[in-house]
Structure 1
Amino acid sequence: MLPREIMGATSLRTRPSWPAFRDGPLYPSFLDAVRKMRANSDSTRPGSWAYWTNVHANYCPHRKPYFLAWHRGFLVRFEAQLRKASGNSALVLPYWNYYEHPMIPAEFRDSTSPLYQPNRTGSDVSGACTLGAFDPTLINFQRGKTDAFEPAVETAPHNGVHNLIGGAMDNISISPRDPIFWVHHANIDRLWDAWVLAGDGRHMPAKTASYWSGSFHYGTAVSSVKRVNTYAPSILGYRYDDTAMPASQPNNLAAPLPSIQEVFATPLAVQGGSLGGVGGLALGPRSARVRIPLTEEGRNRVRSRVTTPGQAADAVRIVLDGVDLTSAGARGGFFYKILLNLPAQGLAQPEQTYLVGTLGPFEISVARHARMMAGGGSPMAMNGPVRLVLPARDVLSRIWPEPLDALTVSFVRVDAGGAPQSDAIAIDRVSVEAD
């Protein structure tokens, strides 16, 4: 028989925002549970904080299908353990709505609190709070489809929040060590629920679709969760006190982009699927742009992939090879928004129109993690340069028609307090590929 929290109980627990939770009756139980779990040194048991960090490192999908659904089950199983540790059956996991309160809550910055994590780099995540995932054109859910919500919300705000906080949060293998991880992911889960409830053509695969076949696993000491039971929070026995999509960005995020430095890197040959590129790029505190000329054949191939219906989102892609962090960059507190064919004279459309992805320590750790898992779990794979592939067809279709003599790739720096002011990321090659 299924546990109560996945039976669709008629009485749903409500997950509140952090300010309401902090001032409510459940806050002392939450602190007590976190304190007990962090003090538990038995990483093989779910009563310890380390157990959940290890589960995330060994099972979580990032830049893969089920990113949102797997984490929904993860939070539910963790939340049940909080209740067990505290002895309070009413305890819930709150969420941090950084679109309204972009500073890490003060309680997480108090060094005497069990919510404190040392070695964070930044505390203001305003720069991650874009509205691209909530654009009305994003009506599909799963990655691999055009105009899909899941990869968009993973890119922003999810990845940016990890990057700007830095410390443990900018490394996929250890990010749940930081208590802020849990209220961050509760907010990502809430944003998914808000996207579904907004309607207006937004849709997920039907509950009867094969997409929901199978189960998610969370280690040998915790029961699995059927994928279909992550379809909606109500199936898992909870809801959110606010299910509205963000309508505005915090602080001055919507201000014009900073000046972008033109970088003249070494041209790369056109061969095979590559339509050209440049080599040898160092990204530091300034935003940078590279220009990739296209041959006539390259222009025709890109035009064909953009204008032919039914093409995959990665039919045209930006490929970053040999991407590595400097020692300064490993501290986090920054990331780069990667924008395609950004007008030199300023934004003609909203910024998200041009956004193909983000690049920071967290994205690099995700790529290293995928390499480690594919290679049988060798920890050596969590070091060294990686390859990142960013689907670009959707962006090109949004800005079409436009002259295609060249594609420009802009790396727009976003900082939080304490970000490194020296070279942070090195890239061997930036290239454009098309099937």
Structure 2
Amino acid sequence: MTQRQYHGLVIQGRQTMHRSVFTRRDFLKGASALLATALPGQRLLAQTSAARRLDWNTFRNTRDYGSLVDGISRMRENTNASDKRSWAYWTNVHLNFCPHGIAYFLAWHRGYLYYFEQQLRAVSGNKALVLPYWDYYNTPEIPGEFTNPSPFNSLYLSRQNSNVIDALSLAPFAGTVTNMQRGLTNPFEVLMEDQPHNPVHNIIGSTMATMQSPTDPIFWLHHANVDRLWSAWQQAGGGRTTPSAGSTYWAGTFTYASRLTMQRSRTIDTRSQLSYYYQNETMPTSLPAAQTAQAGTGNFMLASMRQDDMALQLAQLGPRTSGAAPRLLARPAVADLAASPSRQISGSRLSVGGVLRIPLNENSISVKLQPDQASADLLQRTLGATAPQATGPYRSALVVLDSVRISGNGDMGGYFYHLYLDLPSSTDVSSANAYRIGSVGPFEIAAAEHRVHMRQDAGGSEPGTVTLTFALNRELSALVAADPRNVTLSFVRVSGNSAPGGEVIRVGEARLELSTETPQ
């Protein structure tokens, strides 16, 4: 069993990361007695006027800044993980109950921030204190107050990187994204979690790349920004819809501790139910322009940027600049790896081919998923223009990464991989999103490990591994149907200024599957 210590907090390392200081049962038992008498919830829940959560650049110049720093300091100094006034207590809430990669990711975290904010007010003694947010679409560098390594700075924690510019995307805010929940076409929740949420965790790295991410004070500002962006999307109009309060979608409650729950319907919006709003509630319309760092790299590094491989990396993905020149993305070379056969995975899923043992390191890589002729014919019948066939059981396609594990020193993050399907040999980065199906990094793996622990997922085929599944939309399914014998999967590495080299992730198998589920 491994342990890492962060300013007096002792939490478990990755090998046993699903166990916090207490087991889930112990945590619930302790929380039951503590929350009943001490949490200021019921008094503070009924605020008569809405509080305004401020952008960090505004907040740090207010009188509440001192209360925030003092409150965080007091909570981090409290090493009793069973005490709701401690920092570790709220990390354990996340470890024991947070949903990632499943429904209610946005709504559960909205309630989580809300209850944490109440506790921060109580510890600091400032009942007017609100959580600020970090608007990285405007300022992608972690605020300096969080990167000062002074031993007296309660906002500091060692991190791999501080700039998240290349973790950002405008995809969730496109006019075509009109559905909020999972299971529908272009769901905002899925797109928002996929990028920017997950890559921000990955690029910052260290504890932020794990389910123990609330240990890092920047976590709370990151999630306040995610909540803000969801609120902005909800208010933007243009056909964007959230299930109504009377929908069965909101039936039931979220659990944060045994006696700390919240009706799901309270998280529909921030103003009417939770009595707060944000300083800026508009969606971003552009990505921030990078400041030129070294040799014109624009702060974008595809890998570790050693002089001998700089040309290769910039050929794969050109630097971000403030000019109008396109950033070209070249499809990585195809690796010669062993193929896996077509086979029945379950009663509802059929593998139509894949490849085995994919090593992911500082270089980008492509692999060929080459179905045999019979599987290719089935793909065309299922995914083609006239599909789905009424006579066939399959209706949609998935890319599945099976038996995925962290390798070497990859668990500390500082990097992630864009995952593309049938990426052209060279394309403008702004157009590449049409071929993107998701991202892979230590945070996605940690979230999958968490789902296994919560018995929401069975895990990978090999012991101690996980499975990552990516549903193909109709456009990518049609692309597969057009040339089913030559399906290319590309892993494009994105690294911060500090990122590990060598193998960091091992994928046991990448395969293309047909599923009986309705296509998105």
- Please, what TM-score do these two structures have when normalized by structure 2? 0.77
Q: Distance in 2 between matches of 1:71 and 1:181?
A: 11
Q: 1:268 aligns with which of 340, 348, 352?
A: 340
Relative to structure 1, is the Cα distance of residues 398 and 159 closer, same or farther in structure 2, using a 3 angstrom cutoff?
farther
Asked if the contact 2:331–2:490 (Cα under 8 Å) also holds between the matched residues in 1, the reply is no
Q: Read off the aligned partner of 1:216 and give its amino acid letter.
A: F
Aligned to 2:454, the other structure's residue is in SS state helix
Match of 1:165?
A: 204
2:433 to 329, 333, 352: 352
Change (3 A) 1:12 1:302: farther
| 1:375–1:65 distance in 2 versus 1, CA, 3 Å | closer
Residues 306 and 338 of structure 1: is their aligned pair in 2 closer, same or farther, counting only changes over 3 Å?
Answer: farther
Matched, 1:417 2:497: yes
SS of 1:257's partner is: strand
Q: Which amino acid aligns with 2:161?
A: G
Give the aligned partner of residue 147 of structure 1. 186
CA shift at 1:295, angstroms? Answer: 3.6
CA–CA distance in structure 1, aligned partners of residues 429 and 201 of structure 2: 29
Point out where structure 2 has 5 or more consecutive residues left out of the alignment.
Answer: 1-40, 291-319, 345-349, 458-462, 516-520
Could you say which structure has the larger radius of gyration? 2
Corresponding position: 1:156 with 2:195: yes
Equivalent residue for 1:285?
Answer: 362
Counterpart Cα distance in 1 of 2:342 and 2:235: 46
Q: Is the 8 A contact 1:15 1:93 kept in 2?
A: yes
CA deviation after TM superposition for structure 1 residue 40, in Å: 1.2
- CA–CA distance in 1 between the matches of 2:214 and 2:377? 46
Equivalent residues of 2:376, 2:484 under 8 A apart:
yes
Question: Measured at CA, do residues 239 and 259 of structure 1 come closer, stay the same or move farther in structure 2, by a change above 3 Å?
Answer: same
How many Å separate the matches in 2 of 1:348 and 1:80?
42
Does the residue aligned with 1:246 lie in a helix, a strand or coil? coil
Identity of aligned residues (%): 39
CA distance in 2, matches of 1:399, 1:244: 34
Task: Note if 1:334 corresponds to 2:371.
Answer: no
Matches within 5 A, 1:28-427: 28-112=66-150, 113-118=153-158, 120-172=159-211, 174-220=212-258, 223-234=260-271, 235-250=273-288, 251=290, 252=320, 255-257=327-329, 260-272=332-344, 273-303=350-380, 304-305=382-383, 307=385, 308=387, 315-347=396-428, 350-374=431-455, 384-397=464-477, 402-427=482-507
CA separation of 1:30 and 1:305: change in aligned 2, threshold 3 A: same
Please say if residues 72 and 120 of structure 2, whose CA atoms lie closer than 8 Å, have aligned partners that are also in contact: yes
CA contact (8 A) 2:210 2:446 kept: yes
| Distance in 2 separating the partners of 1:84 and 1:392 | 46
Residue by residue over 1:222-268, the C-alpha shift from the partner in whole angstroms, topping out at 9 and shown as x without a partner, is 53111000000111010001111111122228732256222121111
* SS of residue paired to 2:257: coil
1:336 counterpart SS class: strand
Per-residue CA deviations over 1:10-60 (Å, capped at 9, x if unaligned) read: 521000111111112210010010001111122122211111000000000
Once the 2 structures are TM-superposed, how far is the Cα of residue 314 of structure 1 from its aligned partner? 9.1
State the AA in 1 paired with 2:413: G
Residue matched to 1:379: none
Any conservation in 2 of the 1:122–1:166 contact (CA below 8 Å)? yes
Relative distance call for 1:33 and 1:259 in structure 2 (3 A) is same
* Displacement of 1:385: 2.2
Once the two structures are TM-superposed, the CA of residue 347 in structure 1 deviates from its matched residue by 4.2
One-letter amino acid of the counterpart of residue 291, structure 1? K
Consecutive unaligned residues of structure 1, counting only runs of 5 or more, are: 377-382
* Contact 1:171–1:365 under 8 Å retained in 2: yes
User: Equivalents in 1 of 2:427, 2:465: separation in Å?
Assistant: 33
Q: SS of the counterpart of 2:133? A: coil
Change in Cα spacing, 1:184 to 1:398, as seen in structure 2 (3 Å) is farther
Deviation at 1:5, TM superposition (A): 5.5
Q: How far, CA to CA, are the matches of 1:314 and 1:403 in structure 2?
A: 18
Q: How many residues align?
A: 424
| Alignment deviations for residues 43-83 of structure 1 (CA, whole Å, 9 cap, x no partner) | 12221111100000000000010000000000000001111
Secondary structure at 2:280's aligned position in 1? coil
TM-score (norm 1): 0.91
Higher normalized contact order (CA 8 Å, seq sep 6+, divided by chain length): 1
CA contact (8 A) 1:314 1:392 kept: no
CA separation of 1:246/1:358 partners in 2, compared to 1, >3 Å: closer, same or farther? same
Aligned-partner SS, 1:262 = coil
Look up the SS of the partner of 2:439 in the other structure.
Answer: strand
Q: Which moved more, 1:50-59 or 1:125-134?
A: 125-134
Q: Please say which of residues 65-74 and 191-200 is displaced more in the overlay.
A: 191-200
Coordinate RMSD, CA, aligned: 2.5
Find the residue that maps to 2:367 and give its secondary structure: strand
Mapped contact 1:214–1:227 kept (Cα < 8 A)? yes
